[in-house]
Amino acid sequence: MINGILVIDKEKGMTSADVVYHLRKVLHIKKIGHAGTLDPDVTGVLPIAIGQATKLIELMHQKNKKYCGAGLLGYATDSYDTSGKVVKTKRLTTKISKDTLQTRMQEFIGKIEQVPPIYSAVRLNGRHLYEYAREGIEVERPKRSVEIFAYNAVDEPQFDLEKGQETFNFEIECSKGTYVRSLVNDLGENIGVPAVMQTLRRTASSGFNLSQAVKLDEIISNPAIAKKAIQPIEVFFKDYQTIDLNENQWLKVKNGAAIALKTNAKKVAVRYNNKVKAIYQARGTIYRPELMLLQNN
């Protein structure tokens, strides 16, 4: 059985579910899932959990994500990206400097309340927001708390006097649940100019980045690439203190029993035969199982 995380560099035009479907088919694996949905128009890092690693999906969601992208100042849409219906325009007569963009971006750093785009998978009363949007039903979108760790302007903005528009590049590091489209839209509102996201690429997610990623087409053409590219479960726990189990401890862990460990860490990855078999959490002076990965061979 294959156990680990396969990092896919998702192409534009494909859903995250499409990637899982194709991988399940070509690798003949049933136990497989993705961590962190990417919109069809967004490219980049899509971690795919396989086998025992599917137990990690909730933990994978908790880690920060990084993006690079491009925004445009001059008009806004209902979807906050260029695929939507234009709802506001304003012709720019002078360039907005990189310094101005950077200063305004810094105002979003920290914990913020964010309103997701109407064309999003956020649920309201049991339905996705995009379902309301497609039916033309106006609803009050629920605010959500997210955290922005970095929001920076990259390179000099490109001002087009003839079109009265300006494009800018940016980089973002944020918590789970953040809609970058909303950040671009909100940046425009902060500046006083309608804005829309043009492109977006996820460069890191769940502790993995583009340097570890492979294209889906490469795997479809040569499935053997997947086995070479898969990241072992141990990589995900590289920031945890790891403790190797002796035979007696291993027998207890196999039965889900509590164990005594000589450490002050709140959580530890316990390992047997160089494979992480469980995550144990401190309960007073004793450690008890939080996540079992016994079949990680």
Catalytic residue list: 39
- Cα 292 off chain centre by: 24
CA distance 202 to 11: 11
CA distance 272 to 10: 34
Tokens for 19, please give them.
């990637």
Who's near 158: CB < 8 A, 6+ residues apart? 166, 167, 168
Residue 152 half-sphere exposure toward CB, CA atoms < 13 A: 9
